[in-house]
């Protein structure tokens, strides 16, 4: 438990450090390129995403390199989409439709990067895991681990995408990620600890509506939770978690999460908790 707390504190310190640099104008990658207009027509900065990405990635370089790979890959892919992406294609369906027309959008590139880094990270994590041997001796065959690894990789990529879909209102994506990461946090997964620390560090600014995650922050946020979950779950648990994540992603193509939340009193209260009124 002590290691988990230390990891969370380190992640929070890093995230707050990046936020402080941005506030004082000393962040090398800050500036107008990260300014966007939110749902209320107000200007907000996406450098919160840089802070979240730094806070989740750096501690994992030492504590959990596979998780660091998944988180860093998601952050880079998200940053490319934030800085170079256009508005011509929206949602998974829109990006796939553009691909069928011969146009490779930044969203398609992001999907490819999330899938590739998620697969490598999950395979690496599974190989490093303690359960690489049969209980009766000998090593597990490639066939016995390939299925769960592929499921875990899809869970990482899907969670990264899902977090981005929730990043539509102040604090929403962070609240969902923090709540979803509690089981893995209690299991002592470093990736979940970094999400808790960095997420809580940037949450106040997000709730005030002065900053937001953007793809740069939402994608690594979801990837970290997804990999932490994969590390904590067995094969059946991974399938169940992936089913839930994939179902929500597909439903989002037809149903507005914001509308469902606003029409459900309990969800509406949780969603608006702490938000500027």
pLDDT in tens, 187-240: 999 999 999 999 999 999 999 989 999 999 999 999 999 999 999 999 999 999
CB 188 within 8 A of CB 2: no
pLDDT(136) > 60: no
Kindly report, residue by residue over 47-66, the tens digit of the pLDDT: 999 999 999 999 999 999 99
From residue 225, alpha-carbon distances to 21, 180, 232 in Å are 26, 7, 11
Of 1-5, 28-32, 85-89, 172-176, the least confident:
85-89
Give the model confidence (pLDDT) of 244-257 as tens digits: 999 999 999 899 99
Burial of 208 (0-12, 13-18, 19+ CB in 10 A): middle
The model's confidence at residue 104, banded by pLDDT at 50, 70 and 90, is low
Q: What does the pLDDT read at residue 22?
A: 86
Exposed, middle or buried: residue 23 (CB in 10 Å: 0-12, 13-18, 19+)?
middle
| CA 241 to chain centroid | 15
User: What's the rounded mean pLDDT across residues 94-101?
Assistant: 59
Listed in sequence order, the DSSP H helices in the chain are 2-23, 47-63, 65-84, 91-100, 106-128, 142-166, 172-180, 182-186, 190-208, 214-232, 235-252, 257-263, 265-272
pLDDT > 80? residue 160: yes
Please give the structure tokens belonging to residue 155.
């869970």
The token pair that represents 9 in the structure block: 């504190």
| Measured distance CA(96)–CA(93) in Å, rounded | 5
Q: What's the token pair of residue 22?
A: 């941005």
Confidence of residue 90 (pLDDT cuts 50, 70, 90): low
211: left (phi over 0), alpha (psi -120 to 50) or beta: beta
Confidence of residue 275 (pLDDT cuts 50, 70, 90): confident
pLDDT of residue 244: 97
Q: List the Cα angle 265/271/272 in 5-degree steps.
A: 90
Which residues are paired to 139 by β-bridges?
A: 133
> Residue 139: pLDDT band by 50, 70, 90 thresholds?
very low
| Range ranked top by mean pLDDT from 38-47, 98-107, 109-118, 135-144 | 109-118
Pairing of strands 43-45, 35-37: antiparallel
**Res 135: pLDDT:** 37
Instruction: Tell me the pLDDT of the chain averaged across its residues.
Output: 88
Both structure tokens of 26:
């000393």
What's the pTM value of the predicted model, to 2 decimals? 0.88
Determine the average pLDDT of the residues in 66-72: 97
b/e burial code for range 167-198 (CB count within 10 A of at least 16 → b):
bbbbbbbbbbbbebbeebbeeebbbbbbbbbb
């Amino acid at each position: 438990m002590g290691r988990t707390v230390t990891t969370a504190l380190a992640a929070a310190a890093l995230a707050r450090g990046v936020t402080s640099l941005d506030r004082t104008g000393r962040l090398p990658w800050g500036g107008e390129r990260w300014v966007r207009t939110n749902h209320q027509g107000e200007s907000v900065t996406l450098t919160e995403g840089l802070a979240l990405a730094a806070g989740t990635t750096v501690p994992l370089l030492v504590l959990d390199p596979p998780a660091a790979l998944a988180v860093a890959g998601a952050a880079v892919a998200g940053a490319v989409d934030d800085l170079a992406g256009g508005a011509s294609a929206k949602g998974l369906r829109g990006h796939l439709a553009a691909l069928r027309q011969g146009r490779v959008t930044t969203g398609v590139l992001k999907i490819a990067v999330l899938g590739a880094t998620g697969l490598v990270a999950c395979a690496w994590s599974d190989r490093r895991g303690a359960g690489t041997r049969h209980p009766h001796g000998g090593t597990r065959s490639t066939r016995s681990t390939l299925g769960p690894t592929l499921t875990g990789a899809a869970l990482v990529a899907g969670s990264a995408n899902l977090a981005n879909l929730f990043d539509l209102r102040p604090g929403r994506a962070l609240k969902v990620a923090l709540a979803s990461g509690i089981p893995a946090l209690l299991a002592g997964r470093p990736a979940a600890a970094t999400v808790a620390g960095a997420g809580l560090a940037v949450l106040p600014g997000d709730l005030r509506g002065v900053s937001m995650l953007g793809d740069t922050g939402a994608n690594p946020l979801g990837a970290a939770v997804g990999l932490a979950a994969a590390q904590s779950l067995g094969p059946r648990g991974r399938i169940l978690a992936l089913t839930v994540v994939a179902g929500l992603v597909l439903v989002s193509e037809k149903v507005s999460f914001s509308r469902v939340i606003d029409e459900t009193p309990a969800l509406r209260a949780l969603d608006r908790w702490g938000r500027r009124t």
